[in-house]
Amino acid sequence: MTSTASGSFYTGNYRNLFKELGYSEEDIQKKLEAAWSELLDGENRIYYPLGDDKGYFLDTGNADARSEGMSYGMMMAVQMNDKEIFDRLWNFSVTYMQHTEGRYKDYFAWHCNPDGTRLSQGPAPDGEEFFAMALLFASHRWGDGPAPYNYSEQAKRILRACLHQGEDGNGGSPMWERANKMIKFVPESLFSDPSYHLPHFYELFAIWADEEDRPFWKEAADASRAYLHLACHPETGLSPEYANYDGTPAEVQRHGDFRHFYSDAYRTAANIGLDWAWFRLDSWQVEQSNRIQRFFRPIEVADYRRYTIDGKPFEEPALHPVGLLATNAMASLAADGPDAAYFVKLFWDTPLRTGERRYYDNCLYLFSLLALSGNYRIYKD
């Protein structure tokens, strides 16, 4: 790993890859605003208001609201400077999803009906880390208000639970493995999900979380970067959906086989690209991003499939091909090979997904639009 201190965190500069390829600032801003508007109230919306002060992102393929989507929506809203949507999403989440007692205290039920009734009590850590980061950015961009809009305190409460759950004797488990500093798939599991690893978030938690936990978060950032070296295939760049702490694909689970490159795993390339853009602390990320783009360059989006991590395709098509394209394009934040511009241009020319399965694709699409236009930013104190 290298330390160049030239990422956006240090310089305050954010690359606009669309502008670098000749698109006008006006067209870029229009495209971003149109996509956000479409998600909120267009024909392909995934946001729905609820009552006077709440709203939710709907997983249109499963007809539920998920901690993943709620926290994603909050991150999008703070990046788009849309405080009303942010507060509505947060109010739904804290009212209906967040546990107030027991083994999951301060965690979020991972999915609910649109009316807020819980479908499952258990949490999924990718939601908690996005909730915390979005809340910290909101605190820095807009300032704290009265509870539940005292964003910074709410974020610290979540992060505290992620590391210390169970210490009060409530029978719970932390979301990070204290010994190896790695995020778990769920608190009770003994394996991880490569796409959950967000070292660029942990670098910031190491600044803004409870002081006693800041060294842990810095170590977690380093551990996650090292882990991704193991989880991503050295030739294809593909990673499994679930992986053991040594990076090898996890065993088949009772709810399915997640040893392969499929929907969850798409996010890994985007996360690596954003970590490089923000911090530039691991030069491996450049070649890794080149590697995954080389793998997908000859494949048409319509032909995307499920793959073994060594690149063998299944007959099963990708469930979220537009989302996969979006993450391949976001890898261009780190890639310096001949395919980087190709994926950015292809993504620019691809519209938001329509139809029943649009939720996940279009979340990844909006994040890629933000990142590639230089608008996925760190908001500091």
Q: Which residues are identified as catalytic?
A: 68, 264
Tokens standing for residue 150: 């005292």
Residue 334 to residue 331: CA distance in whole angstroms: 6
Residue 347 to residue 322: CA distance in whole angstroms: 9
**How buried is 381 (Cβ within 10 angstroms: 0-12 exposed, 13-18 middle, 19+ buried)?**
exposed
Backbone φ, ψ for residue 137 (5° rounding): -60, -40
Residue 63 to residue 79: CA distance in whole angstroms: 26
CB atoms within 10 A of CB 247: 18
Residue 174 to residue 87: CA distance in whole angstroms: 27
Half-sphere exposure of 317 (CA within 13 A, CB side): 8
Tokens standing for residue 260: 């392969």
Half-sphere exposure of 275 (CA within 13 A, CB side): 31
Tokens standing for residue 118: 């819980």
Decide if 293 contacts 324 (C-beta within 8 A): no
DSSP string across 101-128? SSTTTT-B-SEE-TTS-EEE----HHHH
Residue 172 to residue 153: CA distance in whole angstroms: 21
Cα-atom radius of gyration of the chain, to the nearest Å? 19
Residue type, 185: F
DSSP H helices in the chain: 8-11, 17-20, 25-41, 67-79, 83-92, 125-142, 151-164, 199-208, 214-231, 266-278, 284-296, 321-330, 340-348, 358-372
Residue 50: strand pairing partners: 54
